[in-house]
Amino acid sequence: MGKLPESPFEVRLAATLFLLLMGLANVFGAWQVRNFASFTPSGVAEAFRSEHEGHSMPAAVSEEKPVDPASLNVEQHHTGRELLVQDSHVHIPVYAMAAAFFALILFGLRLSRRTRIVLVFAAFAAPVLDFAGLWGAHLWSESGRLWGAVAVFGGFLMGLVYLILLVLTLKQCWFSRQGEGHA
């Protein structure tokens, strides 16, 4: 364990480029979440609630309702069960592979065993929390804000693991004396 900083240039380069591409993917992922759901528990709860809950009957044609002009251009997005199943099918395996690759890089860094265990556990727990929160908001709309908070926490936890790993990899592989011998 802890040999990545002393690895050949191409090994350190591969680990670094993988992490940088994952970062780019995460930026676009966060942008997509902002576009279609929210970073708030209540926003997640609203976007993922069951299709049959929370929908009121349309107002009668003759009934007047006040209209806020600012809300006219705000698109309300709702993720139904079919899209949630599709997202789960695609994203959970990809998150698992990302967590596994993160773990492989972590194993190569000079870290204590306890730190490696915590970061590996966090990398695999983050997507579980994320999708548990999304499904919870969908299945139990009455507690949607709680489930939304679980989803938001899972997403931010994966981002935190990524940032810690990126900083440690850059520091140990490129900015410390131990890794410079193979450059």
Give the start-to-end residue ranges of the domains of the chain.
Answer: 4-49+80-182
Confidence (pLDDT) at 69: 67
Averaged pLDDT of the chain: 84
Lowest mean pLDDT among 10-19, 38-47, 102-111, 138-147: 38-47
**Residue in this structure with the two tokens 């993922």, named with its chain if needed:** 48
pLDDT classification of 73: cutoffs 50, 70, 90: low
Q: What's the residue count for the chain?
A: 183
Confidence (pLDDT) at 41: 84
Confidence (pLDDT) at 181: 44
What is the mean pLDDT of the segment spanning 82-93? 84
The larger pLDDT score, comparing residue 168 to residue 74, is at: 168
Confidence (pLDDT) at 16: 95
Dist CA 13 CA 144 (whole Å): 43
**What are the tens digits of pLDDT across the range 20-31?**
999 888 888 777
**Residue in this structure with the two tokens 């140990």, named with its chain if needed:** 172
Dist CA 84 CA 135 (whole Å): 8
Dist CA 149 CA 41 (whole Å): 4
